[in-house]
Amino acid sequence: MERTLAILKPDCVGAKKSGKVLDRIEAAGFRVVGLRMVRLNAQTAGTFYEVHKERPFYQDLVEFMSGDRCIAVALEKDNAVADFRKLIGATDPAEAADGTIRKEFATSKQNNIVHGSDSVENAKIEISFFFSSRDLVETA
């Protein structure tokens, strides 16, 4: 079993789409092993997306991610990282494939509803950003 980190972003939580998006995630075979409502601030959002700190969209991204609550979700499934990226679709909803979560729910390249880890290694780092091992349920 592999784990990945999802974040339901402020556009998702703020528009009350969290239930619908979680429903899609569970229907695709992911098991929730950790779930937490969080409010990021400029510092924590900046650290989470530090890899993008030289990119022109970084400041706006940090403001967006700290502008309302997020829901951090640790997910488990065979091939979770790649399968979750496939489920959410391309960063820009205009380029996301039909049937993907971003295609259905996202409104712009920035406001794209959900984050997904991009590698198994980053998934481990990102899950530990939001959860201690005690917060994660061991599954059978």
Positions in the binding site for Mg ion (CB under 5 A): 118
From 17, 24, 77, 115, active-site residue: 115
Question: If contact means CB under 5 to 8 A according to the sort of partner, which of Mg ion, ligand ATP, none does residue 122 touch?
Answer: none
Dihedrals φ, ψ of 70, to 5°?
-125, 160
Question: Cβ of residue 116: shortest distance to ligand ATP, in angstroms?
Answer: 5
| Interface positions with ligand ATP (CB under 6 A) | 52, 57, 61, 91, 109-110, 112, 115-116, 118
Minimum CB–partner distance for residue 35 and ligand ATP (Å): 17
- Annotated active-site residue 52? The verdict is no
Rounded Cα distance, 76 and 31, in Å: 5
